[in-house]
Amino acid sequence: MEKIKLDIVALSHSVTQSHNYAVVLGEEDGNRRLPIVIGGFEAQAIAVAMERMSPNRPLTHDLFRNTLDTFGINLVEIVINNLLDGIFYAQLICEKNGKQFEIDSRTSDAIAMAVRFDCPIYTFEFIMETAGVVLEDSEGAISAPPKRESPPKKTLAEESTEDLNTMLEKVLAEEDYEKAARIRDELNKRK
């Protein structure tokens, strides 16, 4: 299975969940984005590493990096390798003495480690097809949908596929990734 390389394009506060954040990964050679909801501590760990900040004492991810370094283990890459029931799964691909091995990881922790090791982040096409979103314009912004005058209150299951796609564009533009995930799940049920 061919891997798709991703880069971190945004780390933002969740609009609907006050203690959660979203890390948005962008396809390196494409216009798809993969939004992943993460906790506050994981967002802090990613932000600290991205900004090259040096806390007085090592954070957990720094401790883990120091441990791997001490034992001569290199983090080669991370792979977001599965998506089950809306939960992303990842693996750390490590190398020691020419041998590679995989370590199961929460995706947020894997991303925090990738930033510390400056190693690539990958996923697979089936994950991008299931959870990825496509940018509409060449500047990288998600286009907002046309406004409807007075939208009726319907459940997602009652909405048309066209309306769901429009709603998805709107909530992504508003960075409401939790609602975007619910809409995406409803669209996937219809396939």
Burial of 30 (0-12, 13-18, 19+ CB in 10 A): middle
Residue whose structure tokens are 């991008």: 128
More confident residue, 125 or 53: 125
**Residue 17: Cβ within 10 Å count:** 15
Average pLDDT over residues 50-60: 84
The answer to whether the predicted template modeling score (pTM) of the entire model surpasses 0.75 is no
pLDDT confidence tier of residue 169, bands split at 50, 70 and 90 = confident
Residue 16 pLDDT > 50, yes or no?
Answer: yes
For 130, the token pair is 């299931």
Q: What is d(CA 86, CA 100) in angstroms, rounded to the nearest whole number?
A: 29
Q: What is the DSSP string of the chain?
A: --EEEEEEEEEEE-SS-TTEEEEEEEETTSSEEEEEEEEHHHHHHHHHHHTT---SS--HHHHHHHHHHHTT-EEEEEEEEEEETTEEEEEEEEEETTEEEEEEEEHHHHHHHHHHHT--EEEEHHHHHHH-EE--STTSPPPPPPPPSS-----GGGS-HHHHHHHHHHHHHTT-HHHHHHHHHHHHHT-
Residue whose structure tokens are 């998506």: 83
pLDDT confidence tier of residue 167, bands split at 50, 70 and 90 = confident
| CATH class assigned to 3-129 | alpha beta
Q: What is d(CA 119, CA 112) in angstroms, rounded to the nearest whole number?
A: 11
- Residues 86-118 have pLDDT tens digits of 899 999 999 999 999 999 999 999 999 999 999
